Each structure stands twice: as structure tokens, then as C-alpha cells.
């Protein structure tokens, strides 16, 4: 059964700046590859020989030319696809401090959005279920089932005490 295949481990990092009602989140419009046309945080596959945190930093550097200075893991999401036997385990990170103004890369065009105005209609269908916990400073776990790669058919998301 598919659950016996070790998951593909990926990272997803969002930078949040500002306080209270003026908070903004950095998302990137994915220009090519998996999820092209969707806004998402920055991330990708963790490579052999690097830690998950190192993978998260490298992907942010490659995709937005910036370093996160206070990255913290907030959640782990498990994605199960009916058209892919290998589940994906996405480690979600939060940061507020960063080294420079993010820049466009070959993969991503960065945009700051007010946290009250996140473009969920142009994002992966799962995001609307866990962003409230992410933005509320909570840690979480989720299991999300997709058919035909992009249709979310079932989900469980829950708050957990720690990363």
C-alpha cells in the first residue's frame, strides 16, 4: 500500500512582517514547475545531506534571494495524492526577520499581502484550512487528500502543542 512508501520531504516557508492590523505575508507567484500559477510560500524538496532547516533556507535563498534570520517550524502537512503513490511531507516554517528585500527569481515573483487579504482563490486548496493556525502563532499537523493532483477531497488539520 502507498502508506509504506517513505514520503518525499519538502519545505514551505512564509515570512510575516509588521504587527497587528498591518501585518503582511510574503508569497511568491510560482512561475514554473509544480504549482505554477499559484501563490505559495517558498520551498521545495530537501536534498540528501542537508537538514530540513537547511533545505528551507536554501530554497528561500534560491527563490527569493534572501535569508530568514529567525525561522521556526510551525507545522507538518502530509499530502496524499490518488495519482502519486508517494505521499509528500511538507514542513512549514515561519519567519519575521530577513536579510534583504526579497527579489524575483526564475521560479517565483514575490509579493507582500496584508494578512487580512490573502489570495486564497489563487492558492492551493489546503491553505485556507491551516493559514488561520499559522497566522495565529499556533503549531499544527494536517493530512490532506487530493485527487487529480489539485482537487482537495478530504482533510484533517489540528493544532498541536509544539513543532
| Comparison of 22 and 159: residue with beta carbon closer to ligand 6OG | 159
Q: Which residues of 106-136 are buried (b: 16+ CB within 10 A; e: fewer)?
A: ebbbbeeeebeebeeeebbebbebbbebbbe
Is 57 a binding residue for ligand 6OG by CB under 6 A? The answer is: no
CB nearer ligand 6OG, residue 2 or residue 22: 2
* CB closer to ligand 6OG, 35 vs 85: 35
Count of residues touching ligand 6OG (by CB under 6 A):
17
Q: By CB under 6 A, tell whether 127 contacts ligand 6OG.
A: yes
Window contacting ligand 6OG (CB under 6 A); options: 14-22, 38-46, 98-106, 131-139:
38-46
Instruction: Read off the C-alpha cell for 39.
Output: 501563490
Which of 28, 43, 110, 142 forms a contact with ligand 6OG (CB under 6 A)? 43
Based on the shown chain and the rule CB under 6 A, indicate whether residue 44 belongs to the binding site for ligand 6OG. yes
Residue 119 is a binding residue for ligand 6OG (CB under 6 A): no
Q: Can residue 33 be called a binding residue for ligand 6OG (CB under 6 A)?
A: yes
Q: Vertex 15, ends 155 and 46: CA angle to 5°?
A: 65
Please give the helix or strand (H or E) that residue 19 lies within, else none.
none
Characterize the bridge pairing of strands 84-95 and 151-160.
unpaired
Q: Which runs of consecutive H residues, i.e. helices, occur in 15-159?
A: 52-64, 127-135
Q: Is the CB of 8 or the CB of 23 nearer to ligand 6OG?
A: 8
Q: Which residues contact 143 (CB under 8 A, 6 or more apart)?
A: 77, 78, 80, 155, 156
Q: List residues near ligand 6OG by CB under 6 A.
A: 10-12, 33-35, 40, 43-45, 79, 88, 90, 124, 126-127, 146
Amino acid at each position: 500500500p502507498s502508506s509504506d512508501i517513505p514520503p518525499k520531504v519538502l519545505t514551505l516557508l512564509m515570512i510575516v512582517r509588521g504587527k497587528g492590523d498591518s501585518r503582511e505575508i510574503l508569497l511568491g507567484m510560482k512561475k514554473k514547475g509544480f504549482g505554477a500559477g499559484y501563490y505559495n510560500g517558498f520551498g521545495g524538496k530537501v536534498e540528501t545531506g542537508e537538514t530540513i532547516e537547511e533545505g528551507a533556507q536554501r530554497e528561500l535563498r534560491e527563490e527569493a534571494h534572501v535569508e530568514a534570520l529567525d525561522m521556526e517550524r510551525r507545522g507538518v502537512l502530509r499530502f496524499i495524492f490518488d495519482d502519486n503513490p508517494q505521499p509528500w511531507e511538507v514542513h512549514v516554517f515561519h519567519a519575521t526577520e530577513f536579510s534583504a528585500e526579497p527579489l524575483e527569481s526564475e521560479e517565483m515573483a514575490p509579493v507582500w499581502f496584508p494578512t487580512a487579504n490573502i489570495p486564497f482563490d489563487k492558492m492551493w486548496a489546503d491553505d485556507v484550512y491551516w493559514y488561520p493556525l499559522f497566522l495565529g502563532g499556533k503549531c499544527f499537523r494536517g493530512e490532506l487528500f487530493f485527487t487529480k493532483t489539485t482537487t482537495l477531497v478530504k482533510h484533517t488539520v489540528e493544532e498541536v502543542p509544539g513543532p
